[in-house]
Chain A
Amino acid sequence: MTVLEHRPGPMARVGGRLLRSRLATALATPHGVDSYLTHFNPMWAAHEVRARIESIHRETDTAGAPVATITLRPTSTWRGHRAGQHVLVGADLPGSAKRVTRAFTISSAASVPGETITLTVRSNAEGQLSSYLVERAQPGEILHLGQAQGEFTLDESPATPTNNHLLFITGGSGITPAMSMVRTLLRDGYDGHAGRKVTFVHYARSPEDQIFAEELQQIADADNGVAVHLHHGDLFSEFGLRRIVGDFHDLDTYLCGPAGLVELVTEAYTRDGVLSPKLRMEFFKPAVLRAASTSDEPEGEVTFTRSGASVANDGGTLLEQAEALGLNPESGCRMGICFSCARTKSSGTVRNVLTGEESSLHDEEIRLCVSAAAGDCHIDL
């Protein structure tokens, strides 16, 4: 297998162990071993995970929202991933030089250390990182990665066979985790004739928007027990699903797609007000963008997620609003210079009261004393 060629050799393993030793940590204090290694070769790492872009392959050319598959070679610190997991990817965007970090599902089959992985990303106008990766990034560039995470995974393997019927329902770029799972099953010698059926139901806007069209066709044509149903343009319906798989309610179902699809499918899987425990789903947090407002009146709700408190936005700084709620966040100068009150805003738009600048980035660090909410906001406090 070609992947084995990239497994770390004995020298690299000894080197890795040395770099992760207490001695190396003590020598590199307070900056850490990685902050030295990276200056010699960005692909050398002791703890952090980075990856080099090997290639970028355009999947669809949908106007305004093209999709590309990006093949990454992670550093030796990558621990591998299970099918369906996602990874945090960070890049210093050219121009602004700001590090932007987002989660992307890994579209390649489950990996072990030393293997490459792929991300399949849809570019969208609001997503700085996704549009960068799809439209501007070049092979050879280095990205910052986390370790794979997420529990939306296929926890059965050919080694522990069951004969449960497996159903995937996906929409748009939500196809990626399901694709990783199907690829893993097929790669690892999944045998549909052992009695386990796999049904793959996917919704795309049009045949041109269909990601992985060729591969899905091959999977459908092969004698492998995987049934592929592609829907172009039509919406999910309970009736339609029943025609394909019969009573779906008790099937092991993996659902991933846009909010509209998720809503319709959860409705179909809800009986007597109870959602079927067989349905597992995943969707990423959509950006809470502020609706263009004509008035200057403060609006929205400020939620302090750690303390569970929320309050109607009164237009004052987030520090004042937190204090009015009886929360006592650390603070100092109250004029934006000392960074004592820096906190993470998980979502929402804030306005810098000194500059008037608005920002809607997820998981962005803000100074509470000079930030006011512009619409709904979630603060990690």
Chain B
Amino acid sequence: MEFGEIVSVLLQGAVVTIKIVAMALPLAAVMAFIFGLIRLYSPAPFKQIAIFYIEFFRGTSALIQLYWIYFVLPFFGITIDAMTAAVVALGLNIGAYGTEVVRGAVQSVPKGQYEASIALNFTARQRVWRIILPQALVNMIPPFGNLAIELVKATSLVSLITIGDLTFKAKSLADTTLQVGEIFGVVLLLYFIMSQALALLFKLLEKRLSKGLGRGGIN
């Protein structure tokens, strides 16, 4: 098979991978925020639920989570297509790690900020949304960037539930052509480019958000 053909097939797979990342990443961010804030601020029963979610998804294999959602849930009458299963499984998995990022970032905001917001008589909600979170957000961006890259790499698991992602295309090409060197070389490069693009995106985001905070180089 010609090199150009190989690249074009792999690019099709890369588009599927990008789609999964583009959907799973927002889901992970939403889960991270919701459960991170529950973990930090809500009363006991909700906190326990959040801790269960976090520990469960961090403490079990992402592949098995994927299998459960795609292969096992149908036995309980819940059938979802492979793409949705992939997005849900990866989003929940990365989201569980993200909750700890949210928690750590919130706790790293100096205590004095919280005290000043009490002294100015902000309500509990205003304290969190107007004073603490805007500062915590900047601290979250670098570790979130790491998780986004983890997510890109974790998408290769979805090839095992019939999705034609980059890894899936590479394996089937390799099986038929045996040109493993070229194929997996290109695959490595494509994953690397996707990760680098995300890393750059998060760098830009960090610069934008750190305006005035005296870090991240904007002032």
- Pairing of A with B: no
